[in-house]
Amino acid sequence: MMSELISGLYYEGEKIADTKAPLDVPIEKCWETRKFTAKLVNPANRRKLKIIVVGTGLAGGAAAASLGEMGYHVDVFFYQDSARRAHSIAAQGGINAAKDYRNDNDSVYRLFYDTVKGGDYRARETNVYRLAEVSANIIDQCVAQGVPFAREYGGLLDNRSFGGVQVSRTFYARGQTGQQLLIGAYQALERQVKAGTVIEHSRHEMVELILKNGHAKGIVARDMTTGKLEAHTAHCVILCTGGYGNVFFLSTNAMGCNATAAWRAYRKGAYFANPCYTQIHPTCIPQHGDQQSKLTLMSESLRNDGRIWVPKKAEDCDKDPRDIPEEDRDYYLERIYPSFGNLVPRDIASRQAKNMCDEGRGVGPALAEVGPDGQERMVRRGVYLDFADAIERMGKDAVSAKYGNLFEMYERITDDDPYEVPMRIYPASHYTMGGLWVDYDLESTIPGLYVGGEANFSDHGANRLGASALMQGLSDGYFVLPNTVNDYLADKLAEPLLDGDDPDVQAALAEAQERIDRFMSIGGSRSVDSFHKELGRIMWDYCGMYRTHDGLLEAIEKIRALRKEFWQNVRVPGESVGQMNQSLERAGRVADFLELGELMCIDALHRNESCGGHFRGESQTEEGEALRHDDKYLYVAAWEYKGEDQPPVLHKEDLIYNNIELKQRSYK
């Protein structure tokens, strides 16, 4: 039963619910109960089953390694030349776990509470509690693999704090935590490759999902070195393909990060949840010009010891920061949020940095931008992150031991020495909390299609706390998926794999080839990157840190016009087969971003409240903070694809809080 067309943009359909989580037991018993009630596959039968995993970041690499170790046959696909080049390697600051090594009253419940509150009460309780529950196991697993976490003088694992919490629970390996964790997962994966349970397909990009009777039964992948399309079938498919932050063009993501695998699944029937929930990271190196292709993250861990400030007077913004006396500096986060100071959550720190720059107190070079009134203006987009106090308190050597590689990276990019001059930082697109809708088992609305890590929506609500992405990726890969896919696979033992001549396999191959042929036949005059860059500007201006009703309507109109021009005037040079063609790769990704960008704006428009990273100008407190409306929007927005140029259908999953009291967030 569907509603009338709403706002000319979407329909509302029937509500949905997660039916896998056992809600008749206390939340601390939920995961153990689910594992017990799930059907099992005995070890001798696992070798009869095949699983496809797409992506080899922390979620995908851990899942492929774990499932291979359990005895399943696993085919793993990734577009990089090596599994260890997945974008998880770029994570810097740390990974959360409720071990309470600092004896500061941490617990599983506190990690659960902090994560739900940090997400502005828009996450599912059961999934978040499980994440907190298995967090300690992740650290034990990684230590056993040899991950070189930082240690205190006595040899115990060290911890530091991240935003949105008042305890120290973040384990870290200097500023290279993602790299070290990924190497651990990669070693486990390669062990299974050697054992013969896992087969790697490098330089392969998923371009279509194969369905049989509504179930996921394989993928179509394009060999990026030859252009050949290949069909691969399995008993189930797991997508661990990361987020869609590159819809903004400029982001901290690797330039190859894309949403194509998830979007192909969405077009085949998987619901897409909360697409408007995107995270803008507050500590990134500011944009320096209009020819830039990506932005660089500076770890949130720097906010442990660095102090963020801007000049109190706009006329001081041109001065050398070392010449601005203490009394003329505005440590605005410490002033506005005295309880948390510089360690407020990312969405709050980002918005306040924007506010300072909008007031004319930003620092660094002024760049041209178009304001809400359509007029071009020059604005300084930067604030200072200053370590002078930390160096004086701890000494330069101690600061270098904690952050040295980050300081070195900053100096290489900017030619400024952060030991001598404050860093300049500004928010940038970094992470996406939205993703494919999944239930407690991480199964999508397509039976047999599971989704792990950043590619799903499940754990972070409207804002992710720092150091929780690595926690979720490894939780899903090492501990959740290996204990849930068995429930689906237990009934597939007698089911043969689809062969290449199956009509559904051939149909998926034909769809993928038809799309490629369409790209190659347009022969327009504009490059793929020019369309991506224009889309990114629209998304940043209208669906970034600050969103309004009128702005989102304008964005939808602009995106539709841009997508129409894309399909009429994009230029994809070269050949589609017989050679590597990066323009063709990017064309497919940008075409999907153009559709996803519109859905993000529709989702943001329908949610007339501010929560976490989704800030609506019409919904804020007198002090300019996010104002939620729990009476209207306490749900997950899961969107269903209904066809080319057809309005999507909104399905609501009500969020029920039995273990945490709903309240407006306050970090003051």
**Residues acting as catalytic residues:** 346
Answer yes or no: are the C-beta atoms of 238 and 485 closer than 8 Å: yes
Neighbour tally for 660: CB within 10 Å: 16
Torsion sign (Cα): 343, 345, 347, 352: negative
Answer yes or no: are the C-beta atoms of 188 and 65 closer than 8 Å: yes
Cα distance between residue 544 and residue 538, in whole Å = 9
Q: DSSP for 48-77?
A: T-EEEEE--SHHHHHHHHHHHHHT-EEEEE
Q: DSSP for 544-582?
A: SSSB-HHHHHHHHHHHHHHHHHHHHHEE--S-SSSS--H
Three-state DSSP at 27 gives: helix
Cα distance between residue 562 and residue 146, in whole Å = 49
Buried b / exposed e across 149-181, counting CB within 10 Å, b at 16+? bbeeeeeeebbbbbbbbebbbbbbbbbbbbbbb
**Chain centre to alpha carbon of residue 529:** 22
Do strands 376-380 and 366-370 pair parallel, antiparallel, or not at all (unpaired)?
antiparallel
Q: DSSP for 137-185?
A: HHHHHHHHHT----B-TTSSBP-B--TT-SS--EE-STT-HHHHHHHHH
| Helix boundaries (H) for 268-387 | 332-336, 346-358
Q: Is 527 exposed, middle or buried (0-12, 13-18, 19+ CB in 10 A)?
A: middle
Answer yes or no: are the C-beta atoms of 160 and 172 closer than 8 Å: yes
